[in-house]
Amino acid sequence: MSATLNKKERLPQLDIYRAMAILGVLHVHATSFATVDAIDSRFYYIINFLNIFFKYGTPSFIFLSSFVLFYNYADRPLTKDLIKNFYKRRLLYILLPYVLFSILYFFVRMYQNGLLNSSFDLWAQMPLFFERLIRGQNYTHLYFVFISLQFYILFPIFLKLFKSSRFLVRWAVPIGFLLQWGFILWNKYELQYTFKGSLAISYLAYYMLGAYLAMNYDKFKGWLTSSWKKQTSGQRAGTVVLWAGWIAVALAHVQIWYNQRLHGAKYDSLLYELLWNLHTVFSAIVLMQLASWLYNSGWKLIVKVLTRIGELSFAIYLVHPLWLFLYREYDLKLNPVTDDYLIWVYGGMVTALIVSALVVQTMFRWIPGSWMLLGSVPRSLKPSSKAPKTPSQKKDTVTGDSKKSVDL
């Protein structure tokens, strides 16, 4: 493996993948309250469907993060400079925004709980803040950034192991599932750790799947990127199995939650875990195929919009709960059983996307140092070469390339 990052094929369709993943996240967060409030609505199946079907968002980001890391780094010599630069970038573009947004959302949560008043004691609340910080729990969505940080800590170790053993690469996916489900069973029957969703091992199957696909991308590229008409009969069979399996497990996942929420049905927690796992693993591969098809579709406007959303996806992920909080504060006093309530709920998703995208794009373009809060500046929004360079623009001392956006 002598190729360098300079010669590595760029995969622009991955920005479309990121766009579809963030749309999944936005659908889930926008409908969360409605799954409780609108239980008597005649549209409850739609509300539940939107909330469960789109749960592929965060696992897809985890899979893609792993894929991009291994795709970009697998062929590079694993030197001290490489590791140092890797951690420096994650410190600047992931850890710093995580801490700053944790502070911001901590106060939002205090306000929601009615604690920001004349008797508010900041110092008395600091232990709670740090306790939540080390679990990714200062707001409901920050766990994803927290588990990403865990993966980054482990990444050089995994990379070293995979570069030295083809056996581990070949069996990466089964190993990932075995370790993830071993932890799930251990936690259910013995450990019973409440915040297992904030631990990286709960998502190890996605991490290993991303690593395996990245290191064997040449084998799967034709299948993932070719249109239906250009696929071989074997590739078409694989596509049918993939999409049929995805639809089947996704609908089963939607149905058990519908049965529980509306009818009080009870199922073993492992069934929820299994259907969620299968649904989101299938989704991760489906999105890879769909992103390539869309990129090559010739629909220039759709591709352009989705690409920009994908470029901004990490910043949108960080910011959008603020808009949903404000959106819900402006209470229209709608009856959850009326038809206009569904419109209001979905309006939260649409406006969360539009407002968040406009805000972060404006900040990236016009506010110096916005990378400290929002992460790495997308290529298309970086200042001209005449402007003073930020850390995101400085030359990579390892590869000689301009910095890319952090691989999330």
Give pLDDT tens digits for 216-264: 999 999 999 999 999 999 999 999 999 999 999 999 999 999 999 999 9
Q: What is the pLDDT of residue 176?
A: 97
Q: Say what the pLDDT of residue 196 is.
A: 92
Whether residue 2 has pLDDT greater than 50: no
Q: What pLDDT does 399 receive?
A: 33
Report the amino acid identity of residue 249: V
For 150-158, what is the mean pLDDT? 93
Q: pLDDT band at 383, cuts 50/70/90?
A: low
Ordered by start, the domain boundaries in the chain are 5-381
Percent of the chain at pLDDT above 70?
A: 92
**Mean pLDDT of the chain, nearest integer:** 90
